[in-house]
Amino acid sequence: MLEQYLNRITQGDCLMLFQDIPDNSIDIAFADPPFNLKKKYNSTKDGLTVQEYLDWCERWLNEMVRITKPTGSIFVHNIPKWLTYYTSFLNSSAHFKHWISWDAPTSPMGKTLQPSHYGILFYIKELKQNKFYEIRYPHKRCRKCHYLYKDYGGKKPLLHPFGPLVSDVWTDIHRVKHNKYRDEHPCQLPIHLIERIILMSTDEGDIVFDPFSGTGTTAIAAKRLGRNFIGFELDEEYVCISENKLAQEKSDSKIDDVWISFYLDEIVTLRDTDWIKLSKYYIIPESAEEIDHVPVIFRNGKSDNLLKNKDRRRDYPMFDRNIVKYGEPSDPCTYH
């Protein structure tokens, strides 16, 4: 049954299509449903009564839990108002792990307490069997002086050269703003948001499921990271856009055999355990204290010009032989 849906976006009503997906068969389920905010979708009336909307949500949330494997996780993205109801549905069938706050700022010019974050509920199917990986993101620094924004006080000697473990507040991933990156869709998510979730909760070859696929963000993230995917989407045009985009994507978001999430030429998310392998691609400050004001430099990124400042780095002879630019044959980053 599952095979016919694998690695494609199927057009249709997710509640109908769910019936074909066996129990305990997918690794993670991610849902970004319409928020009932009267957005202009092609095929969805985004304006149900509160009770109609919640009844509908409860049905597909139950299905998400049903089809997820005991090792798997369930992620649901929405505004806080609706997530408060979702927790009461999910608490009876799965285990709460986190309420991730995704800070997606708008200009603070409308009103006091203007909503500027979304929530991502993170539930797991079984407490003892869940698959989960610690993940890191780059330190946030002043662009001019490179000092860390965060004051680590006496903990500086413990700083990780690449960056901290990701907390439940995500401030480093921006909404899709530029028109050139946007599809004809009112609510497209950034790929790096989903890539982070995938790196945290799945392995290569696992199945990532999305019942509200839109223009295919989850599927693209899964494909880039060497995972399988299943997407459902009501609107034919969005399916078409997704399939066109997917045809151009490769499963190559990695350095050597390490899957990573990239934006431009910097890593956005990596797994903690992969730093050992990836560190050889970075120029790392001499001492732990230096990390406070000296960024690690990805040897193949735009920061290569900083290599000239030899005082600011440890000497890596192996690397000095291998300074390469994107596109050269020995480039270890196959993403670009």
Ligand X SMILES: C[S@@+](CC[C@H](N)C(=O)[O-])C[C@H]1O[C@@H](n2cnc3c(N)ncnc32)[C@H](O)[C@@H]1O
Residues that bind ligand X (CB under 6 A): 13-14, 32-34, 41, 43-44, 185, 187-189, 211-212, 214-215, 217, 232-235, 238
Nearer to ligand X, 118 or 137 (CB): 118
| Residue 188 or 228 with smaller CB distance to ligand X | 188
Q: How far is the CB of 30 from ligand X (least distance, A)?
A: 8
Tell me whether residue 195 or residue 233 sits nearer to ligand X (CB atom): 233
Comparing CB distances to ligand X, the nearer of 235 and 272 is 235
Distance of closest approach, residue 33 Cβ to ligand X, in angstroms? 6
Residue facing ligand X at closest CB distance: 214
d(CA 176, CA 192): 10
Q: Provide the minimum distance between the beta carbon of 91 and ligand X in the complex, in angstroms, as a whole number.
A: 24
**And the tokens for 93?**
């069938």
Give dist(CA 155, CA 252) in Å, integer: 36
Q: How far apart are CA 332 and CA 279, in angstroms?
A: 13
Compare residues 57 and 255 and give the one whose CB is closer to ligand X. 57
Closer Cβ to ligand X, 54 or 324, answer by number: 54
Smallest gap from Cβ 202 to ligand X, in A, equals 17
Of 187 and 270, nearer to ligand X (C-beta) is 187
Helix axes 217-224, 191-201, angle to 10 degrees: 50
For residue 27, give every residue at least 6 positions away whose Cβ sits within 8 Å of its Cβ, in sequence order, or none. 68, 69, 71, 72, 131, 201, 202, 203, 206, 207, 208, 209, 227
Residue 290 region by backbone torsions, left for phi larger than 0, else alpha for psi between -120 and 50, else beta: alpha
Smallest gap from Cβ 218 to ligand X, in A, equals: 6
Q: Running DSSP on this structure, what letter comes out for residue 190?
A: P
- Residue 247 CB, nearest distance to ligand X (Å)? 16
Nearest-approach distance from CB 79 to ligand X, in angstroms: 11
- Measure the CA angle with vertex 90, ends 124 and 87; round to 5°: 110
Buried b (16+ CB within 10 A) or exposed e, 85-110: bbeebbeeebeebeebbbebeeeeee
Task: Give me the least distance between CB of 105 and ligand X, in Å please.
Answer: 19
Burial class for 178, CB neighbours closer than 10 Å (0-12, 13-18, 19+): exposed
Q: Where are the alpha helices (DSSP H) in 160-303?
A: 191-201, 217-224, 236-247, 275-278
Q: 77 or 271, CB closer to ligand X?
A: 77
- Going by the DSSP 8-state scheme, the letter that residue 164 receives in this structure is P
127 DSSP 8-state letter: T
Closest to ligand X by CB, 70 vs 115, is 115
Amino acid letter, 294: V
Q: How far is the CB of 77 from ligand X (least distance, A)?
A: 7
Label residue 90 left, alpha or beta by phi (over 0 means left) and psi (-120 to 50 means alpha).
alpha
